[in-house]
Amino acid sequence: MKREVITEEKIYIENDSLIIEGLLRKASPERGALICHPHPLMGGSMHNNVVEAIAEAFAAENFTTLRFNFRGVGQSTGAYHEGTGEAQDIIAARRYLANSGLSKIYFAGYSFGAWVGTNVIIRNNGIFTGSLFVSPPNKYFDFDWAKLNNNIGLIICGDQDQFCDPEVIKRQIKEMKTKLEMISGADHFYMGKEKELTDSLRKHIIKKEI
């Protein structure tokens, strides 16, 4: 049976004095996924190819999805705030999903989005039902893995990634339940590897490994 195509709708989320622009795809009334984009100063936005691949993976498994622009990106007001303000953007977007009635909210962060999500997860234990990172840029940002405990179910990284060192991640998560999956031939940007990324994510979502 062919899956019904559900389109995304433009939404605007209040975040104190700021307005956050997002794209919401309504599906499950219970499960939702919040997806965060790469570095705003490097051209990152909710329209990034990896962000779209992540959203498609969750949508294919009937999750409600929300991807949004951090402050200062697209039609989101404000300006880049070195991760601190962006963490508040994540909390505001998560609150929006919770207020819509979703009882299970998952986090997916790509690159810079993963790093900002780390700080939110550490400071707000249990804020997400499950979390996953795609290419956390541990060569450039500090990820306090010990404080994350077992809050990250899955990490995906390309074996040609310029900014994510999987060997360091392997050592850091050795005592954790986090799964690490490598995508052969993929670098940090996953150009031409989007389908492999989506398929990998769907596999883990189906197995409830996030």
Q: Mind listing the pLDDT tens digit for each residue in 52-87?
A: 999 999 999 999 999 999 999 999 999 999 999 999
State what percent of residues in the chain have pLDDT above 70: 98
Whether the predicted pLDDT of 5 surpasses 80: no
Which is higher by pLDDT, 176 or 186? 186
CATH number at residue 68: 3.40.50.1820
Residue 144: inside a domain: yes
- Tell me the pLDDT tens digit for each residue of 111-163: 999 999 999 999 999 999 999 999 999 999 999 998 998 899 999 999 999 99
pLDDT value of residue 2? 46
In a domain, 4, yes or no: no
Question: If we measure between CA atoms, which residue out of 104, 86, 172, 97 comes closest to residue 136?
Answer: 172
Residue 3 lies in a domain: no
- In this structure, is residue 1 part of a structural domain? no
Whether residue 125 lies inside any domain: the answer is yes
Does residue 27 fall inside a structural domain? yes
- Which residues lie below 8 Å from residue 76, measured CB to CB, with a gap of 6+? 18, 19, 20, 21, 68, 69, 70, 89
Domain count across the chain: 1
Q: Given a cut of 90, is residue 179 above it in pLDDT?
A: yes
Largest distance between two CA atoms of the chain: 46
Full-model pTM:
0.96
